A and B are shown apart, each in its own frame.
Chain A
């Protein structure tokens, strides 16, 4: 298994532009998580899905952020419009079952908004 695959690895964009981050979870995993990591706040949960359904999006900072999971093998996190304070590393993770067996992170997307 190739693990959790995120793309792109790096993204540099101008303020105001739309940014889309992509994630392919491990096949068979039924939970998918989006996290953001910054120096100031560490790792924060943004949203997570169970069987493609969003369960808790209380960590999404504001309406500029949205996430979808149209099927079991793909999820996107979109920021529109992007702002410099959105600069961070965004991680996707997936797991099997509610008790996080096989909890696996992707390599992350480093986003820089200038």
Chain B
């Protein structure tokens, strides 16, 4: 059983729409990462958070530790936001990362 679940698996949106990607996890964690993987394959770390909310440009990430849930929001989405967004949680004494399977986002012009 995957301990990190993302939803939706696939998401298609029109340019300008507000987008939400969800991540739920089943273990106690010390931090959660949101990663972005573009069609070319490169992976970029967007956020690392352990509580509350972080914002960077049009991207907002929130986490609720009690509910074991995080969301990634994209405001005013753009075709260049099209990518796979991956949630990863850090747990355990060594801090290993466990990854979700990703959400494939496609933003149409």
Q: Which of B66-109 contact A (CB under 8 A)?
A: 86, 88, 90, 94-97, 99-102
- Bound: A110/B45 CA distance, A: 20
- Bound: A13/B71 CA distance, A: 40
Contact of B45 among A45, A55, A103, A108 (CB under 8 A): A103
Since A99-B95, A100-B31, A107-B41 are in contact, a sample of 20 more A-B pairs with Cβ atoms closer than 8 Å, ordered by chain A residue number, is A33-B97, A42-B86, A42-B100, A42-B101, A42-B102, A43-B99, A44-B99, A48-B96, A98-B95, A99-B31, A100-B33, A100-B48, A100-B90, A100-B95, A103-B45, A105-B43, A105-B45, A107-B42, A108-B41, A108-B42
> Could you list which residues of chain B lie within 8 angstroms of chain A, going by C-beta atoms?
31, 33, 35, 41-45, 48, 86, 88, 90, 94-97, 99-102
Contacts of B43 in A (CB 8 A): 91, 93, 105, 108
